[in-house]
């Protein structure tokens, strides 16, 4: 039975061990056991027999095994560091192959590739959802403005731009020329607050209804305010 993480990687149920880590541990254990057996045989031929040539040959084999073990650990650590850096910087174009390194890296490389493929799929799905929500937000008739505590704008939809007579909006303070009262209300509003602001622009009266909510994203506090001209209703 397999339990799957949110990142798409699987863990054997009841063990809590990722297949990649399990593979690394098994490989290291087998290599150490082989090295121990080789050293024990070398010592036996040196001490208990007169076949010093066989003992010397086994000692050389043991040195080769030590070198192979060190190279295996170093290579695995480098691949793991590269794998973690690719996740940190969202660089899912990295590839992990075992060509020319022997079959001992095949399972490890396959595990890395599977996890990277899952991350790529998850990112693609997230981007697709973002594009969908962005399209919906831009086409609704109610103005929406989201900004941080310092007033910097995170998003503003087309309806809000039309209502506020702006093409671009980087900070709510940029609306001071249109209405200082609007800027003050936007900054003071808290989650659940509602307000009404009267604006006169080019001899046109606007009665803008405001409704605010707050949320946290990436550790920052954001305020989302909806704006709607209710002059015709009034």
Check whether residue 63 and residue 18 sit in a common domain. yes
Tokens representing 106 are 């095949």
Tokens representing 83 are 């794998």
Range of the domain at 89: 2-128
Check whether residue 76 and residue 190 sit in a common domain. no
Query: Looking at the domain assignment, is residue 36 inside a domain?
Result: yes
Check whether residue 19 and residue 119 sit in a common domain. yes
Check whether residue 106 and residue 174 sit in a common domain. no
Check whether residue 8 and residue 103 sit in a common domain. yes
Mean pLDDT of 195-223: 88
Higher local confidence (pLDDT), 9 or 231: 231
Check whether residue 74 and residue 179 sit in a common domain. no
Q: What's the pLDDT score for residue 174? A: 92
Check whether residue 115 and residue 196 sit in a common domain. no
Out of 1-10, 105-114, 164-173, 203-212, pick the least confident: 1-10
pTM: 0.52
Out of 9-13, 38-42, 101-105, 192-196, pick the least confident: 9-13
Query: Looking at the domain assignment, is residue 153 inside a domain?
Result: yes
Query: Looking at the domain assignment, is residue 76 inside a domain?
Result: yes
In the predicted structure, residue 133 carries a pLDDT above the cut 90: no
Mean pLDDT of 132-151: 89
Those residues whose C-beta lies under 8 Å from the C-beta of residue 11, and which sit 6 or more positions away, are: 2, 3, 4, 5, 17, 18, 19
Q: How far is CA 215 from CA 129, 186, 196, 223, in A?
A: 19, 15, 22, 6
Looking at 69, 96, 128, the residue that finishes a domain is 128
Q: What's the pLDDT score for residue 206? A: 86
Looking at 66, 94, 128, the residue that finishes a domain is 128
Give 156's pLDDT tier (boundaries 50, 70, 90): very high
Tokens representing 215 are 């949320």
Query: Looking at the domain assignment, is residue 234 inside a domain?
Result: no
Domain count, the chain: 2
pLDDT digits (tens, 9 = 90+) for 64-115: 888 888 887 787 778 778 777 877 777 766 666 655 455 556 666 777 778 7
Higher local confidence (pLDDT), 11 or 162: 162
Check whether residue 110 and residue 221 sit in a common domain. no
Higher local confidence (pLDDT), 106 or 26: 26
Q: What's the pLDDT score for residue 157? A: 92
Looking at 73, 105, 128, the residue that finishes a domain is 128
Check whether residue 168 and residue 90 sit in a common domain. no
């Amino acid at each position: 039975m397999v339990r799957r993480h949110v990142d798409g990687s699987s863990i054997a149920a009841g063990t809590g061990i990722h297949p990649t880590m399990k593979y690394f541990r098994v490989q290291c254990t087998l290599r150490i056991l082989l090295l121990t057996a080789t050293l024990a045989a070398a010592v036996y031929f040196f001490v208990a027999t007169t076949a010093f040539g066989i003992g010397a040959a086994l000692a050389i084999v043991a040195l080769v095994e030590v070198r192979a073990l060190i190279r295996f650990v170093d290579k695995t650590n480098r691949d793991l560091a590269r794998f973690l850096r690719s996740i940190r910087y969202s660089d899912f174009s990295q590839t992990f192959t075992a060509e020319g390194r022997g079959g001992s890296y095949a399972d490890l490389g396959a595990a890395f590739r599977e996890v990277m493929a899952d991350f790529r799929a998850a990112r693609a799905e997230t981007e697709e959802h973002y594009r969908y929500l962005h399209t919906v937000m831009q086409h609704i008739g109610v103005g929406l403005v989201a900004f941080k505590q310092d007033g910097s704008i995170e998003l503003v939809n087309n309806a809000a731009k039309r209502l506020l007579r702006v093409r671009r909006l980087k900070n709510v303070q940029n609306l001071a020329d249109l209405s200082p009262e609007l800027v003050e209300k936007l900054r003071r509003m808290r989650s659940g607050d509602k307000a009404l602001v009267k604006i006169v622009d080019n001899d046109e009266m606007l009665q803008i209804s405001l409704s605010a909510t707050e949320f946290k994203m990436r550790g920052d506090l954001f305020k989302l305010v909806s704006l709607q001209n209710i002059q015709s209703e009034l």
